[in-house]
Amino acid sequence: MSMKKISFPYYRVKEGENLKIVAEKFGVDSTKILLDNNLSPKQVREGILIKINKN
């Protein structure tokens, strides 16, 4: 039996990161991140857990 690595679709925003930095880091459009998480740009701050969909 082999173990597959399961990708965890959530990311905890680190200190000093904002929406633009997170979007560039994962190669995902910032608008898509906001819509998937039902957030405004000001709500994306340190410590928040956001879902990252690369589809």
| DSSP result, 1-55 | --PPPPPP-EEEPPTT--HHHHHHHHT--HHHHHHHHT--GGG--TT-EEE----
pTM of the model: 0.79
Cβ-proximal residues to 18 (8 Å cutoff; 6+ apart), any chain: 44, 45
Look at residue 1 in the predicted model and tell me its pLDDT.
63
pLDDT along the chain (55 residues), means of 10: 75 94 94 94 94 84
Look at residue 47 in the predicted model and tell me its pLDDT.
95
Look at residue 30 in the predicted model and tell me its pLDDT.
94
Look at residue 9 in the predicted model and tell me its pLDDT.
87
